[in-house]
Structure 1
Amino acid sequence: MDLKRRLLLASGAVALLPTARAHHGWSSFDQSRPIYLEGAAREVRWRNPHAELVLELPPTLALPADLRQRPLPAQSANVDGPALLANAKLPSRKDKRWTVELAPLTRMQAWQIEPIKRDANVGVLGFTFAEEKGDPVLRAEYLFIDGKAYGLRSSPA
């Protein structure tokens, strides 16, 4: 088979591959402004490169009274979690639904976080894009489920 024909076949094979979704590194997110969200998990995507949720926020989203006092996992000590909790804000934008990027599946499994069920109430502290521009996306630093906190940039000891 000549080179031209092999290149044509190879390019056709590449075109048939599933397209990859964009993946954001931490540098895309404004880490100087921690955002708190809480709501019902309407969609759950338990897959790589990281698990994702679509949270539907209640009409009267508020910071929990106990947020500053919530215990955080010792494994996340490289992040100043108490300062993040103390400085947490609600989003200024009024989107009803937010996509929440969680950790890679290997880290979720290491924390023994079961796949989140649809309609489960979930709290998240994380970061969105600078000036809250673009899509309503939050990169999770801490995940709060059933009274437990998970540090998603860390792994359990």
Structure 2
Amino acid sequence: MKRRSIVIATACLPVAAPFAWAHHGWSSFDQDRPLYLEGKVVRARWQNPHAELVIEVSPGLKVPADLATRQPPAQSAPVDGPGLLAKASAPRRADRQWTLELAPLTRLEAWKIAEIKPGANISAVGFTFKEEKGEPVMRVEYLFADGKVYGLRSSPA
């Protein structure tokens, strides 16, 4: 019986591994260097463990001059919002498409964020992997959509 369980578990690894790899915890991201991204949504996945958007970023992306003066929402998480916005920079890498990891659906619902669909223009401040290595993935701290800003690490205050 034990041997059969091991064989079944081993057979399932090729199927389960991509899903485990696709989900990143906060510790995988360089939280000392916030990035700014903006673009048009080309794909959206509105499901758990967290929603994801793939955006097309324009070449020559620049951080908006007013980003540091934007008012982040109050949050219960210990995040220095003004500090992050002031420190945000454009990525060094030239990828045209980035995957944005948002929050779990329950948190997006608490913020009353309507499902974001392909064609929408959004911007975000968040974190990617140290030294921008690996996939072009951003873990979103602040999402700017429909003229509003949302703090995704925690529920609304």
TM-score where L is the length of structure 1: 0.88
Say whether 1:71 aligns with 2:58. no
CA contact (8 A) 1:76 1:151 kept: no
C-alpha distance 76-146 of structure 1, shift in aligned 2 (>3 A): farther
- Aligned amino acid, residue 110 of structure 1: A
* CA-atom RMSD in angstroms: 2.3
Residue aligned with 1:74, SS: coil
C-alpha distance 16-154 of structure 1, shift in aligned 2 (>3 A): closer
Identity in percent: 61
Residue aligned with 2:75, SS: helix
Say whether 1:15 aligns with 2:23. no
Say whether 1:114 aligns with 2:114. yes
Give 2:142's aligned residue.
142
After superposition, what is the alpha-carbon deviation per residue over 1:73-112, rounded to whole angstroms, capped at 9, x for unaligned?
Answer: 1125620010101111000000000011000111011111
Give 2:35's aligned residue.
35
Instruction: Please give the alpha-carbon distance, in whole angstroms, between the structure 1 residues aligned to 2:28 and 2:8.
Output: 32
Q: Report the number of matched residues.
A: 154
After superposition, what is the alpha-carbon deviation per residue over 1:24-55, rounded to whole angstroms, capped at 9, x for unaligned?
Answer: 11110000000000000100011111000101
Instruction: Please give the alpha-carbon distance, in whole angstroms, between the structure 2 residues aligned to 1:29 and 1:16.
Output: 25
Residue aligned with 1:139, SS: strand
TM-score where L is the length of structure 2: 0.88
- Aligned amino acid, residue 84 of structure 1: L
